[in-house]
Amino acid sequence: MALRISRALQAQMLAEAARAPEREICGLLFGTSGEHVAAAHSCANVAADPSRAFEIDPLALIAAHKAQRGGGPNLIGWYHSHPNGRPEPSPCDRDAANEVGKLWLIIAQGNVRAWRATGAGTLLEIPLELVD
């Protein structure tokens, strides 16, 4: 099953990555059942070396989980960029992929690819369907 995302939302993430070519950008994905990305919210990258890794600000994650428990939007995954790599999971990404079902959008070389965590550090690529 393909993950649906609007062209505008994809363009927003690509533009964010283009504005920060020297570091990994990152953010949260909100939507429905992991099938449709309705919104993406940029977050601070608090990694020790943001040029080589990403770590979403824990306060942003806590706020997203609290909002979801209160009836807010569903947190379905995250996105980040690879400034000097390919739009596929790095070994660090695989090590962090421990929440089964969560989506990972990886941005690199002007492309966005989608992955779903399937357990024990495994990410399975899923098709991305652009919608208007």
Our answer to whether residue 24 is catalytic in this structure is: yes
Question: Residue 46 class from Cβ within 10 Å (0-12 exposed, 13-18 middle, 19+ buried)?
Answer: middle
Q: Which of 5, 12, 62, 11 is nearest to 34 (CA)?
A: 5
Of the listed 16, 22, 24, 55, which one is catalytic?
A: 24
Residues designated as active site: 24
